[in-house]
Structure 1
Amino acid sequence: MTAPYDPSDREKVVAKLPADLRKELKVRAAELGKDIQDAVTEGVDAWQKAVDLVVVDTSGGTSFATYLPAGLYGKLKKECTARKISYNQGIAQSIRLWLDSNPSPRPQPPRVSGARRIVFGNQKGGVGKTSISAGVAQALAETGHRTLLIDFDPQGHLTKQLGYDLFDIESASLAKHMLGEAKGDLSELLVPIKGGDFEEHLWLLPACKDAFLLDAKLATSRSVRIKETALEKALESLEQDFDYIVVDCPPSLGYSMDTALYYCRTRDSEEASTSGIVIPVLAEDSSADAYDMLYDQIQDLIEDMDVDIALLGFVVNMYDSRKGYVATSSLDAWSSIGEPPVLAVVPELKDQREAVRVKKPLLVHAPYGDQAEVMRTVARRISA
Structure 2
Amino acid sequence: MTGSAAKSTAKSPKKGETATLGATGRPYRGFATPPALDSHGPARIIALCNQKGGVGKTTTTINLAAALAEYGRRVLTIDFDPQGALSAGLGIDTHDMPTIYDLLLDTKRDPQDVIVQTSVPGLDIMPANIDLSAAEVHLVNEVARETILSRVLRKVAGDYDVILIDCQPSLGLLTVNALTASHGVLIPLECEFFALRGVALLIETIDKVRDRLNPSITLDGVVATMYDPRTLHSREVLERVVDAFGDDVLETVIGRTVKFPDASVAGVPITEFAPEHPAAQAYLRLARELVARGAVA
Q: What is the TM-score when the length of structure 2 is the normalising length?
A: 0.83
Following superposition, the deviation at residue 104 of structure 1 comes to 8.5
Q: Is the 8 A contact 2:48 2:57 kept in 1?
A: yes
* Alpha-carbon distance change, 333 to 143 in structure 1, aligned in 2, over 3 angstroms: same
Map of 1:38 onto structure 2 = 8
* Alpha-carbon distance change, 304 to 339 in structure 1, aligned in 2, over 3 angstroms: farther
For 1:378 and 1:356, the matched residues in 2 are separated by 19
Q: Cα RMSD over matched residues?
A: 2.6
Following superposition, the deviation at residue 291 of structure 1 comes to 1.0
Q: Which has the higher helix share?
A: 1
Structure 1: segments with no counterpart, 5+ residues: 1-21, 27-34, 42-101, 266-275
Following superposition, the deviation at residue 167 of structure 1 comes to 4.4
Count of residues in correspondence between the two structures: 271
Is 2:105 the counterpart of 1:161? no
Q: Is the 8 A contact 1:317 1:345 kept in 2?
A: yes
SS of the residue aligned with 2:226?
Answer: strand
1:185-264 mapped onto 2 (5 Å cutoff): 185-194=110-119, 199-221=120-142, 223=143, 225-227=144-146, 229-264=147-182
* Alpha-carbon distance change, 120 to 343 in structure 1, aligned in 2, over 3 angstroms: farther
* Alpha-carbon distance change, 37 to 347 in structure 1, aligned in 2, over 3 angstroms: farther
Corresponding letter in the other structure for 2:162: Y
Map of 2:190 onto structure 1 = 282
Is 2:83 the counterpart of 1:175? no
Corresponding letter in the other structure for 1:175: Y
Corresponding letter in the other structure for 2:240: A
* Alpha-carbon distance change, 252 to 103 in structure 1, aligned in 2, over 3 angstroms: closer
SS of the residue aligned with 2:54?
Answer: coil
Q: Is the 8 A contact 2:37 2:73 kept in 1?
A: no
Q: Is the 8 A contact 1:118 1:264 kept in 2?
A: yes
For 2:125 and 2:291, the matched residues in 1 are separated by 20
Q: Is the 8 A contact 1:166 1:207 kept in 2?
A: yes
Map of 1:11 onto structure 2 = none
* Alpha-carbon distance change, 104 to 297 in structure 1, aligned in 2, over 3 angstroms: closer
For 1:356 and 1:190, the matched residues in 2 are separated by 20
Following superposition, the deviation at residue 103 of structure 1 comes to 11
Identity of aligned residues (%): 30
SS of the residue aligned with 1:303?
Answer: helix
Per-residue Cα deviation, 1:272-317 (whole angstroms, up to 9, x for no partner): xxxx111011112211112111111111111223603211111111
For 1:315 and 1:155, the matched residues in 2 are separated by 23
Map of 1:328 onto structure 2 = 235
Is 2:215 the counterpart of 1:307? yes
Structure 2: segments with no counterpart, 5+ residues: 12-31, 293-297
Q: Is the 8 A contact 1:132 1:280 kept in 2?
A: yes
